[in-house]
Amino acid sequence: MSDARVLTGERTHKEILVIMSALMLAMLLSALDQTIVATALPTIASDLHGLNEYSWVATAYLLTSAIATPIYGKLGDLFGRKKLFQLSIIIFLVGSALCGLSTSMHQLIAFRALQGIGGGGLMSLVLAIIGDIVPPRQRGRYQGYFGAVFGVASVAGPLLGGFLAGTHSIFGVSGWRMIFYINLPLGVLALAAVATRLHLPAFKRQHKIDYVGAALLSISVVSIMLVSVWAGIQYSWGSPEIISLIAAFIVFTLGFTLWEKQAPEPLMPLRLFKNDILTVSVLMSILTGIAMFATILYIPLYQQVARGYSPTKSGLMMIPLVIGMMAASIASGRIITKWGHYKPFPIIGTILLGLGIWLFTHVSLSTSQTTLSIWMVITGLGLGSIMQVPTLAVQNAVERHELGTATSTTTFFRSIGSALGGAIFGTILITRLTYYLEKSLGATSAVKQAGQSLVSALETSSNVMLKLPAYIRHDVLSAYVKSFHDMFLIGLPFVGGALITALILRETPLRSSHDPIPATSVEDIKSHSPIEL
């Protein structure tokens, strides 16, 4: 590619598709990793003799990836995104290889944390790079494919995780270790494609890295993420541990906010939130993140517990939701490109999502799989219509030199929303299950303890219901389904909030061309060959 075309950002459709294939592969690595590992965790923990620590394998990844997301966004704006993106892939692959070599749970937890540092870059930098190579008006056409990646990962993850974890050995290697090793060839392909096909301007600016802001944000994120993992499950909401974590979150969030107001080069500039499009989009991302967590995580759990399906089969049963997500994501992206308007889609999407969640408040032990599939298609259509719009709206509303920071901010808050969704709905499921068990079996301390033990057991075995004595199994299953009703019902106000944000989201005309490259970037481009960029 010539220097002039790197400067203007002009690319043919064929060139964009080649780059997109590499970006989609990288995003698939990140999206697939979380679902595939979650399915195999009980097997991994049993093999490494660490069932009491297995939740930390997922938590370590979530913590570091959430912390890394805004940092990658800011560094990408300061130094350019290509080499940073390559670095994030390498970190992810090194972490994957080390996870596969782990001989103890402590090693696995540490290496998952390293893997998460790379994973945070995969997600945020991919979205920012799309903003670099495709003008806003054309962006919906391509971003729709990335929504489909999430859908594929939500099905392929449990399938691969269940298959590999259930295989004794593959080429002499334990099946669960292949879950991590499978990332290596995919990552190498993505690295090769990025190195040879992705040409981006490299920035040279006067800068001062905001170490204090990064530290304050990290502690704040760690606090709220631990609340999302522990609250209502390992510790009660009123316990000193959870109250201390919530207090730490509030204190360090306030400290981060005050510091960012006067930081010379803030990690997350607060002036960005003066842009009402970014503020509304962030709020929409939080609310949809909460609602999305309820559907993608707990619908498969219902299938496993109430129907007795294996994780692999429950993943297959999610295909209707994935079809809905893919269809809506791709179709809405193409229509946005053709019409140049994005506001109708989150409105339509939140209505469909709300309808889907409301339908699931009526699920019963006798609900047919066909009916569930129709409900999942509706839910998927809603999610697919919403997912790409906050990022597209934000990228269209900010200047190009802050594209990465704004994009990672939106991604970061979506992750926080998902974490909060886990805490909220996990607590609802436990408390309501305990309530209905008391109502049907008797309100005794033994029943309360049994309810909590049952929910904890569900995390490690989907067949726990089948092991119950026949004379109480139906009562327990009925209590479990009723707790699902309440959980989805409480999810509706969050969708309602997302609908309100969609209605007040201000739409600006989608630009048909990129903003000019900053002058500092132009000088840097002239001193390098395109392949180095």
Same domain, 92 and 42: yes
Same domain, 55 and 161: yes
Q: Which amino acid is at 98?
A: L
- For the chain, the domain total comes to 2
228 and 63 Cβ atoms separated by less than 8 Å? no
Nearest to 81 by CA among 190, 188, 201, 211: 201
107 and 395 Cβ atoms separated by less than 8 Å? no
Rg (CA), the chain: 23
pLDDT tens over the chain, length 533 residues: 444 444 445 667 777 888 888 888 888 888 887 778 877 777 787 788 776 676 678 778 888 888 899 999 888 888 888 889 999 999 999 999 999 999 998 899 999 999 999 998 888 898 888 888 888 777 777 776 777 777 777 777 877 887 887 777 787 788 889 889 989 998 898 888 888 878 776 655 666 778 899 899 999 988 888 887 777 667 888 899 999 999 999 999 999 999 998 888 888 888 889 999 999 999 999 998 888 776 777 787 788 777 877 767 777 888 898 889 888 988 888 898 888 889 999 999 999 999 999 999 999 888 899 999 999 999 999 998 998 899 889 988 888 788 888 888 888 888 888 777 777 787 788 788 878 887 777 655 555 555 555 655 555 555 566 666 666 777 888 888 888 899 899 989 999 999 999 999 998 888 766 555 454 444 443 433 333 33
Same domain, 476 and 491: yes
Same domain, 314 and 247: no
Same domain, 222 and 367: no
| Alpha-carbon span 135 to 185, nearest angstrom | 31
Same domain, 203 and 315: yes
Same domain, 246 and 205: no
Same domain, 197 and 244: no
Same domain, 339 and 217: no
Domain that holds residue 121: 3-209+265-532
N-term to C-term CA, the chain: 11
Of 220, 243, 264, which closes a domain? Answer: 264
61 and 119 Cβ atoms separated by less than 8 Å? yes
Task: Say what angle helices 82-101 and 183-197 make with each other, to 10 degrees.
Answer: 170
Same domain, 193 and 322: yes
Question: 375: which strand partners?
Answer: none
Same domain, 255 and 157: no
Of 264, 282, 302, which closes a domain? Answer: 264
**Reported pTM:** 0.81
CATH number at residue 396: 1.20.1250.20
Same domain, 320 and 278: yes
What DSSP assignment string belongs to 338-363?
Answer: HH---THHHHHHHHHHHHHHHHHTT-
